[in-house]
Amino acid sequence: EAEVAQSPRYKITEKSQAVAFWCDPISGHATLYWYRQILGQGPELLVQFQDESVVDDSQLPKDRFSAERLKGVDSTLKIQPAELGDSAMYLCASSLALEETQYFGPGTRLLVL
Amino acid sequence: SQQGEEDPQALSIQEGENATMNCSYKTSINNLQWYRQNSGRGLVHLILIRSNEREKHSGRLRVTLDTSKKSSSLLITASRAADTASYFCATDENNAGNMLTFGGGTRLMVKP
């Protein structure tokens, strides 16, 4: 069964450093989402892509976060500089189209020291 | 911000018992979805119920939706130790383009 791939699975970094996460959606899925999940809470949407275009990034802290999906397939989420409060699980999801079921990857757990 | 609130926040039951989790939300929705998350892992989609539906079944899962009360419930019957996980409701709000808003989750522990 096709799955959403994410790497790395775990990342430890020091504050003020740059980090990047990668996501490869299920083949053929046009819509891609990045979520942040703080321990003990539900996921919160950061950014949504439809193909290579950003549909919504209203919750993305744009002073330090950036996301791209240049060819409309895989995607990268970057944080620069990382802050202690960025420690969380970063989840990627994809769906065939808008209003279709979202399938989640295993996540990248980030710890900022 | 999180739209949904799950109740209870934590639930501990014995294997074989039924588990009921509730979710309340604030705005009009297209659909409501339930997800399961095992510790430290990604989310697995369980079931979707549309705003014009009142009840839906999938295996041992039963979901109800009451749009007048803006609430939903997830019932897991004949629970198993493998059902131990966190369960989240997520709402797809009207005109939100499939952007899901998740609740805080219910942590279910099923004791063998």
Task: Dump pLDDT digits (tens) for B23-69.
Answer: 999 989 989 999 999 987 889 999 999 999 999 999 999 999 999 99
> Counting one residue from A and one from B, how many pairs have CB atoms under 8 Å apart?
62
pLDDT in tens, A26-78: 999 999 999 999 998 999 999 999 999 999 999 999 999 999 998 989 999 99
Q: Give the DSSP H or E segment for A75.
A: strand A75-79
pLDDT in tens, A68-113: 998 989 999 999 999 999 999 999 999 998 777 899 999 999 999 9
Rounded Cα distance between A42 and B96, Å, is 18
CB-based burial, B56-71: b 16+ in 10 Å, e otherwise = eeeeebbbbbeeeebb
Q: Check residue B96 and give its pLDDT.
A: 65
Q: Check residue B97 and give its pLDDT.
A: 67
Which residue has better confidence, B58 or B1?
B58
Whole-number percent of chain A with pLDDT over 90:
86
Q: Check residue A100 and give its pLDDT.
A: 78
Q: Do A43 and B41 touch (CB under 8 A)?
A: no
Does B81 touch chain A if contact means CB atoms closer than 8 Å? no
Mean pLDDT, range B78-102, rounded to an integer: 88
Q: Check residue B93 and give its pLDDT.
A: 82
Chain A residues near residue B23 by CB distance under 8 angstroms:
none
Q: Check residue B3 and give its pLDDT.
A: 58
The answer to whether B108 and B36 have CB atoms below 8 angstroms apart is no
Q: Check residue A61 and give its pLDDT.
A: 93
Question: Given B2, B30, B48, which is nearest A101 (Cβ)?
Answer: B48
Q: Check residue B99 and give its pLDDT.
A: 81
**β-sheet bridge partners, residue A91:** A35
Q: Check residue A2 and give its pLDDT.
A: 81
Q: Is the pLDDT of residue B1 over 60?
A: no
In chain B, at which residue ranges do the beta strands (DSSP E only) sit? 5-7, 10-14, 19-24, 29-37, 43-50, 55-58, 61-66, 71-76, 85-93, 100-102, 106-111
Q: Is the pLDDT of residue A13 over 70?
A: yes
Amino acid identity, position B12: S
